[in-house]
Structure 1
Amino acid sequence: MDILGLMAVLSFGLTCFGLGYTLGKDSNKMQK
């Protein structure tokens, strides 16, 4: 796998992780 593919996979994973983490925190608190 080339460096560009590796970076794409890493950024994609980080984005998904950050999104899930933020959504989980939001539903846990239930207040904006």
Structure 2
Amino acid sequence: MPILTCSIPLLLDDLTELCIAYLRDSLHASNC
């Protein structure tokens, strides 16, 4: 779901921030 919302063009700054936070969490999880 989050990936689909991220694929959507910049509609809301809050939504993009949530996407970035989700991506960062996934990256940290994979790195750790």
Would the TM-score normalized by the shorter structure come out above 0.5?
yes
TM-score normalised over the length of structure 1: 0.64
Aligned length: 22
Q: How well do the aligned residues superpose, as a CA RMSD in angstroms?
A: 0.4
Give 5+ residue unaligned stretches, structure 1. 23-32
Q: Which has the larger radius of gyration?
A: 1
Superposition misfits of 4+ residues, deviation over 6 angstroms:
none
Q: Which has the higher contact order (CA 8 A, sep 6+)?
A: 2
Structure with the larger helix share: 1
Give 5+ residue unaligned stretches, structure 2. 1-10
